[in-house]
Every structure is written in C-alpha cells, then in structure tokens.
Amino acid sequence: MSTLIVYYSHTGTTHEIAGILRNRLSCDIERISLQHPLPPRGWRLYLLGGYQSIFRRRPPLNPLGKDPSLYDTVILGFPVWAGHLPSPMRSLLSSGTIHHRRCAIFCSYAGNPGKALEEGVRLLEHHENRVVSIAGFREKMPSEDREQTILSWAETLQ
C-alpha cells in the first residue's frame, strides 16, 4: 500500500511530526507552500494567520510535486491556528486535489485542537475521501513522550 504525507508547517512542529511518521512508515512526503508566504514570525503572522483561518480564507498554493491520486493512503498534517484549520490546508482540501482516497489527519496544537480536525474531516469527506484515523499532538509534551505517541498512532495506519 503506497502512502503520501502532505503537510503544512510554519514554525516546524508539524514538520517534525511528519518526519517521524515518514521514517516510521517509509513513505513519500510533500510540504505545502504558499505562493505568497506569511510573515515568518511575530504579531503580523498571528494576526494574518488567525484572520485567514477564522474567516476560512483559501490563499493560493504552489503546485504539489507529488500527485495524491497515485497513492492509496494520504496522511494530512497541519498546525491549529486560532482553533481552526490553517488557511493553507483549507486551500488544499477545498481544491479537490485529494479525492476518493483513504485518509488520516493529524494536527499539532499548543492549547487545544479546537475545530481544526473536525473541519479537516468535513472537507475530506466532501470530496469522497474515507477518513480512517485522526490524531492531535500537543506541542508542549516532552519530546520522548510525543515521539512515542506519534509512533503508536503510526502503527494504526499500517
């Protein structure tokens, strides 16, 4: 069974989780990138990123290098922004690029996952994907515990 991880990461936490999953599952990986990147940090990032997430904006993305339709399973990962799906992931999931696939989603969050996972599932199911597993990984968890939690979740995806 072929698997692709598609993720968005701004600060690096989701990137780290995606890397752990990739190493465990021995699968392909693809990072989403915006055509017009957000500020790297600071108040403008939080203001613009939060605004885009709350108001369900869909900024333009650069094309993916890998075609999700060529994979049996697509794992999607993203951070939680203001309790919602981040706008780059919303752009991807709304586009219909991922359709008729077996999917799993995960998020990284600081406070709580809010509605982000629910929003991701809803958009995936709208395009006739079958969501088989969801997971949220707290950023503040000790790294050894977090890695073990991620690896345990990866076992359920095989």
User: What confidence tens digit (pLDDT) does each residue in 109-118 have?
Assistant: 998 899 999 9
pLDDT of residue 122: 97
User: What's the pLDDT band for 11 if we cut at 50, 70, 90?
Assistant: confident
The per-residue pLDDT for 46 is: 66
Helical spans, DSSP H, in the chain: 13-25, 43-54, 87-95, 116-126, 143-156
- How many folded domains does the chain comprise? 1
CATH number at residue 52: 3.40.50.360
Closest CA to 9 of 36, 24, 30, 35: 30
What pLDDT, on the 0 to 100 scale, is given for residue 158?
A: 82
Q: How far apart are CA 129 and CA 124, in angstroms?
A: 5
Whether residue 43 has pLDDT greater than 70: no
Q: Higher pLDDT residue, 58 or 137?
A: 137
Total-model pTM:
0.91
Q: How far is CA 107 from the centre of its chain?
A: 6
Instruction: Considering only residues 83 and 25, tell me which one the structure prediction assigns the higher pLDDT.
Output: 25
Range of the domain at 99: 3-156
Lowest mean pLDDT: which of 58-62, 75-79, 115-119, 126-130? 58-62
